[in-house]
Amino acid sequence: SLFGFQSDFCSLSHLVKLDLSKNRLQQLPLDFGRLVNLQHLDLLNNRLVTLPVSFAQLKNLKWLDLKDNPLDPVLAKVAGDCLDEKQCKQAAVKVLQHMRAIQSEQDRQRQQKLQAEREMEKKREAEQRAKEAQERELRKREKAEEKERRRREYDAQKAAKQEMEKKTKKETAQTRKSTSSSRPAQPPRHKPSWSRSVLRVLLLVLFCVLCTLAACKLTELQRQPLCVSVNTLYEDVVAALQNHKTLQNMLHQNSQ
């Protein structure tokens, strides 16, 4: 069976002529193009609809018969009837050209797909880089906002502390003020002066003595017994003072 050993079969690259007619083949191996030396190929009366793209690699193919196969309409039109040698040769040339065009189109589509995949990959990488940059910027902004929030909290706590200290000082001052104003005013205390009191008493006594002496000397009371005693005492005191002055003068002269 061809398909049971297709890998080994397609490795027979030395084949030049191959007759696979009337085998009810529904498809050829995908690597059928490895038979690069094949020149004559008979596929008459099988069940083929299409040919593998690798068929385009059979560059040495000179003769081809695809009659009595349910071929794709486009492929059937390209292959023709192959009723004689000339038509079978033309079929080989036209089918190879057709398959090469299909191969080129598939290669182009494959390249476009690869290019699209590369562009998509680049786009994904760009989006990923943009996303990472956005995340970094977001983290940076969040970090800055967190720092600013902490600074505001610190300033608020500092201001509240200062306000509390100011309020406490004000309340303390008001308390001291109210305490001092609630105390009754006390008159200044003067320390007692015994010398002043004694002086006042002596002056009072002297005043009384002078008044009594004046009354006894100048009024009619001088004949009264009390005034007589007072006058006598006054004269004795005056005499004593005079004697004391005389004694002082004598002592002063003696000392000189």
DSSP codes joined into one string, 91-159: HHHHHHHHHHHHHHHHHHHHHHHHHHHHHHHHHHHHHHHHHHHHHHHHHHHHHHHHHHHHHHHHHHHHH
- Domain-located, residue 156: no
According to the model, what pLDDT value does residue 193 have? 67
State pTM to two decimals.
0.50
Residue where a domain stops, chosen among 86, 108, 130 = 108
- Domain-located, residue 55: yes
According to the model, what pLDDT value does residue 1 have? 43
Q: Please count the other Cβ atoms lying within 10 Å of the Cβ belonging to residue 82.
A: 21
- Domain-located, residue 225: yes
- Domain-located, residue 190: no
Find the CATH number of the domain harbouring 78. Answer: 3.80.10.10
> Which residue, among 250, 227, 246, has the nearest Cα to 238 in the 3D structure?
246
Structural domain containing residue 233: 215-255
- Domain-located, residue 202: no
According to the model, what pLDDT value does residue 6 have? 55
- Domain-located, residue 140: no
Reading the block at residue 170, the tokens are 């004000």
Residue where a domain stops, chosen among 108, 134, 160 = 108
According to the model, what pLDDT value does residue 5 have? 44
- Domain-located, residue 226: yes
Overall number of domains in the chain: 2
- Domain-located, residue 72: yes
In the beta sheet, which residues pair with residue 19?
A: 42
Ordered per-residue pLDDT tens for the chain, 256 residues:
444 445 567 778 889 999 999 999 999 998 999 999 999 999 999 999 999 999 999 999 999 999 999 999 999 999 998 899 999 999 999 999 999 999 999 999 999 999 999 999 999 999 999 999 999 999 999 999 999 999 999 999 989 999 888 888 888 888 887 776 666 555 555 555 677 888 888 888 788 777 777 777 677 666 777 777 777 877 777 777 677 666 577 657 666 5
> Which residue, among 86, 89, 98, has the nearest Cα to 60 in the 3D structure?
89
According to the model, what pLDDT value does residue 207 have? 80
Sign of the Cα torsion 60, 65, 70, 74 reads positive
According to the model, what pLDDT value does residue 221 have? 67
According to the model, what pLDDT value does residue 186 have? 57
